[in-house]
Amino acid sequence: MSFRFLRPDSVSAWHNEEIQTRFSRYRDIIDDKEMARYLIAKTLHCEYDPDDSLQKLVKEFQLKANEFENLLKIEREQLEQREKVEKNFISLAELIAKKYLENCIFCERRCEVNRVEGEKGFCLIPQDSYITSAFLHHGEESVLVPSGTIFFQGCNFACVFCQNFDISQSWKGKREISSIAQQVDPKSLAGLAERLADKGALNINYVGGDPIPNIHTIIGSLQHQTSNITQLWNSNFYLTDEALTLLIHLMDFWLPDFKYGNNDCAEKYSGIERYYDVLTRNLKRIHDEGSGEIIIRHLVMPNHIDCCSKPILDYVVEEIPNSVVNIMGQYRPVYHTNRFEEINRHPTSKEMKEVKNYANKLGILWKPVS
Ligand code: SF4
């Protein structure tokens, strides 16, 4: 692995004992002491027929989920004795995801369109998945770099301040995927992930836009990937309960955005309903039922300290205390922010300081990753 371009904090962050404790399994996968979840999932036999009803498939998946969680407690040496089986926990998850695609409920917009037959929902992403780039990212949080980051085209949000508007939504006016995007299927996506692993990535980081409309392709790619590398979900986290159930056991690390501390601000600036309710439901699940290894990304917005930043930090400390928070100052007035005077500027240093002081007062761990 080449460390030629590593930032100094990507090494020093690991000197923090809390970081070592909270991200212990991630560290062990990097050091090849533990196996990534998806590799273990391929050894778990599942009993199903592709023609089974969706209800029956989901029931089998839920039954196997308990067995899978028990497998995670087994020693590495024993796990290595287990062989990949054809009908496994991932192939079952992929089959269920493809059935959801016929009536798309991957995110809480619940468009219920048949993407297999060419219908398109809010995100306008068809059955196939498209990526705009895949590279070793050195600008992610200290403990994540170099991160094997794969950017998917399209998003289920419509944030007026989107910093990645070119790949998330500005192409939507033409109602077709931009020409810079490359179509991927599970096998070619796995090929990209493997090449990033070979180049020294510490994780495979699915982002966009947002990866949610591409859950079926991403889960499918896990069947073809072979490297012992952390799988990381980097998303707005507006997943349905059903979609999160498919992912929750397969991802090793979570990188959710937590933008708004209430439903109203989300509806105003991102066109999203029930944002806070959905986010807190999903964050609680990944903290309590998933790996629990989480960096919350909070983008501080101008004039939104009392309504968003502080309630978010209050929630984190009370409900998902093992999380680490990246307090982000990268907000810029771009895209359509000129429609809203109150967010049409950078956050001030006074606002940033107020949020950081509040996090300190609550005892939140943020400095090593911010
Ligand atoms: S992923 Fe796209 S089509 Fe599916 S529910 Fe969300 S916005 Fe609608």
Summarised one tens digit per residue, pLDDT across range 72-130 is: 999 999 999 999 999 999 999 999 999 999 999 999 999 999 999 999 999 999 999 99
Q: Across all residues in the chain, what is the average pLDDT?
A: 95
Is the per-residue pLDDT at 168 higher than 80?
no
Q: Is the CB of 213 inside a 6 Å radius of any atom of ligand 1?
A: yes
What is the pTM assigned to this prediction?
A: 0.96
Pocket test for ligand 1, best of 123, 212, 237 (most atoms within 8 A of CB): 123
Residue 310 is assigned to a structural domain of this protein:
yes
Residue 173 is assigned to a structural domain of this protein:
yes
Q: Is the CB of 156 inside a 6 Å radius of any atom of ligand 1?
A: yes
What are the Cα distances from residue 250, in Å, to 53, 245, 308? 23, 10, 30
Is the per-residue pLDDT at 173 higher than 70?
no
pLDDT single digits (tens) 196-208 = 999 999 999 999 8
Residue 4 is assigned to a structural domain of this protein:
no
Interval between CA 168 and ligand 1 midpoint (Å): 13
pLDDT of amino acid 181: 87
pLDDT of amino acid 164: 78
Q: Is the CB of 107 inside a 6 Å radius of any atom of ligand 1?
A: yes
Residue 89 is assigned to a structural domain of this protein:
yes
Residue 303 is assigned to a structural domain of this protein:
yes
Interval between CA 213 and ligand 1 midpoint (Å): 6
Q: Is the CB of 343 inside a 6 Å radius of any atom of ligand 1?
A: no
Going by CA atoms, what residue is nearest to atom 4 of ligand 1?
Answer: 104
Domain count across the chain: 1
pLDDT single digits (tens) 224-257 = 999 999 999 999 999 999 999 999 999 999 999 9
Q: Is the CB of 243 inside a 6 Å radius of any atom of ligand 1?
A: no
Percent of the chain clearing pLDDT 90 (strictly above): 91
Q: Is the CB of 111 inside a 6 Å radius of any atom of ligand 1?
A: yes
Residue 1 is assigned to a structural domain of this protein:
no
- 52-66, 135-149, 154-168, 338-352: lowest mean pLDDT where? 154-168
324/340 Cα distance (integer angstroms) = 31
Residue 311 is assigned to a structural domain of this protein:
yes
**167: confidence class by pLDDT, cuts 50, 70, 90:** low
CATH code of the domain in which 52 resides = 3.20.20.70
pLDDT single digits (tens) 2-15 = 445 678 899 999 99
274 in the Ramachandran plot: left (φ > 0), alpha (ψ -120 to 50) or beta?
left
32 in the Ramachandran plot: left (φ > 0), alpha (ψ -120 to 50) or beta?
left
Domain hosting residue 172, numbered range: 9-369
370, burial (CB in 10 Å: exposed 0-12, middle 13-18, buried 19+) = buried
Interval between CA 278 and ligand 1 midpoint (Å): 15
Interval between CA 140 and ligand 1 midpoint (Å): 27
Which residues, in sequence order, are bridge partners of residue 203?
Answer: 230
140/21 Cα distance (integer angstroms) = 20
pLDDT of amino acid 2: 47
pLDDT single digits (tens) 32-85 = 999 999 999 999 999 999 999 999 999 999 999 999 999 999 999 999 999 999
Residue 2 is assigned to a structural domain of this protein:
no
